[in-house]
């Protein structure tokens, strides 16, 4: 008999909701906004704007990491990062990405796929200026994705930057830091259901609008 301990023995029944075509908004951005508001309400989900970002580099190998959504509208889904990081190098080689939101308490996930473009400089400047002081200093201090000798050099760089840009004074946006926007070509909304017969609605571009299709779970 197979050992049912460990991951194979874990079981959860999904019974928090349903997702029916008649109730879903024909605009996936509006539908996402509804679900995002529910995920953010009540504080049950620690980071409702956390999303997995999947990219593929020039070598054809995929990579995935968590980033934070910082804005969404009809143009797409925006996040910010070091423009010399691994993800940035991969997006330069292959400017397409996939996003995944997983809201466990609601038994929901949303997938978004599409091409990626840089956020314009004025928008990146405005968002950078809104960040806490420590986060702005950290954007200067960290050579993201690069090998470093240890934590001490990083902390020394942070201290030097705090001296150069004292708290309460403007901290300019680093030239190597900015934003990306994923422009959706496809969405999938997933609602967990009993007996693993989940609801899955896919939105695909169709002319100037969207075609909605149900997928088997």
**What is the set of active-site residues?**
196
* Local structure of residue 172 (DSSP, 8 states): P
Calpha distance 108→187 (Å, rounded): 13
φ, ψ for residue 72, nearest 5 deg = -150, 145
Quick one: CA dihedral 150, 152, 155, 156, positive or negative?
Answer: negative
167 and 148 Cβ atoms separated by less than 8 Å: no
Label residue 145 left, alpha or beta by phi (over 0 means left) and psi (-120 to 50 means alpha): left
Token pair in block for residue 76: 């797409």
Q: What is the dihedral of CA 116, 70, 159, 166, to 10 degrees?
A: 120
29 and 74 Cβ atoms separated by less than 8 Å: yes
Bridge partners of 188, per DSSP, are 111, 202
For the chain, the maximum distance between any two Cα atoms, rounded to a whole number of angstroms, is: 66
């Amino acid at each position: 008999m197979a050992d049912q301990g460990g991951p194979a023995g874990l079981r959860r029944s999904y019974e928090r909701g349903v997702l029916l075509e008649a109730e879903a908004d024909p605009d996936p951005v509006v539908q996402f906004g509804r679900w995002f508001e529910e995920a953010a309400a009540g504080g049950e989900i620690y980071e409702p704007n956390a999303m997995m970002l999947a990219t593929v580099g020039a070598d054809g190998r995929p990579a995935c990491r968590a980033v934070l959504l910082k804005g969404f509208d009809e143009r797409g889904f925006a996040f910010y990062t070091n423009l010399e990081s691994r993800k940035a190098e991969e997006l330069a080689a292959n400017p397409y990405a996939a996003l995944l939101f997983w809201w466990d308490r609601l038994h929901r996930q949303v997938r978004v796929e599409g091409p990626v473009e840089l956020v314009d400089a004025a928008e990146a400047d405005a968002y950078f200026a809104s960040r806490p002081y420590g986060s702005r200093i950290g954007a200067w201090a960290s050579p993201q994705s690069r090998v470093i000798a240890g934590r001490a050099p990083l902390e020394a760089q942070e201290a030097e930057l705090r001296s150069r840009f004292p708290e309460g004074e403007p901290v300019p946006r680093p030239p190597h830091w900015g934003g990306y926007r994923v422009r959706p070509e496809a969405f999938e909304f997933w609602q967990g259901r009993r007996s693993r017969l989940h609801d899955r609605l896919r939105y695909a571009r169709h002319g100037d609008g969207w075609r909605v299709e149900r997928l088997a779970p």
